[in-house]
Amino acid sequence: MRLASAPYLTLAIGEQEMNTAIEGILDALLRHRKNPACLRIAIAGGTGSGKSVICDLICKGLLPCLTTVVALDRFFKPADQLPKYYSAYHQNDQPDFNTPDSLMVERMVTYCRDLPATDIVIFDGHLALYYPAMRELMDIKCFVDVDLAEMLERRTERNLLARYGGDRENILAYNRECVIPRHEEFIQPTQAFANIVIRNNRSDTAERDALIGVLCKNIRSQLTEPCDDVPAAHPAKD
């Protein structure tokens, strides 16, 4: 799914064609940058899709540019203000972290718009491409695409390891009752707004790394000002 008017790229081409395509996409996008002092990149995708891994790979690939990563999870509403969904498993209302009104949108937009400029800022969040006001800030919009079964498997194992969300049955119930329907309704459709779709199944690793390598090389070469020799990415401060 994509907007016909948006520059768009997937992995289903060879490396030379990929390089040529990315050069064309970035040339068009960077000529119309929202803020000449700072390149802004969105990384969207479902929970468990590997957005943080993709951010880390991009940050390393963009060295020596100074890259700041803003995790949009920081803008979740307080627990008592989160929207609810009815859980048949628990037989009561449960907090919903996967719907657009689970975030403090106005505060998020203001923070991201007014963030002090570094060479590059990456906005990492499952709904990063959902809100028009957020999309308006972005120069490059990426969506991390993973098959639903693999994404849910990753989410389940991650949460079990972190001891977050209860036991396996609780996590599977949340996946079934909340994650899947919200992903299909709110998150997956935002792939349509992406300039670049990064496939991130286990079987896509080599192609994913090649795409990110070409993307980073072209960003570095097309930035108006050369990046200083500075440390790797760092998270934005509150």
Q: How confident is the model at residue 224 (pLDDT cuts 50, 70, 90)?
A: low
Amino acid found at 112: C
- pLDDT tens per residue, range 68-90: 999 999 999 999 999 999 999 99
- pLDDT tens per residue, range 183-207: 999 999 999 999 999 999 999 999 8
Integer Cα distance of 182 and 103 in angstroms = 14
Residue 4 clears pLDDT 50, i.e. is over it: no
What percentage of the chain has pLDDT greater than the value 90? 66
**What pLDDT sits at residue 231?**
46
**Residue predicted with more confidence, 87 or 224:** 87
DSSP 76: B
**Domain edges within the chain:** 15-225
- The string of DSSP codes covering 164-199 is -SSSHHHHHHHIIIIIHHHIIIIIGGGGGG-SEEEE
**What pLDDT sits at residue 118?**
85
What is the pTM assigned to this prediction?
A: 0.86
CATH topology of domain 15-225: Rossmann fold (3.40.50)
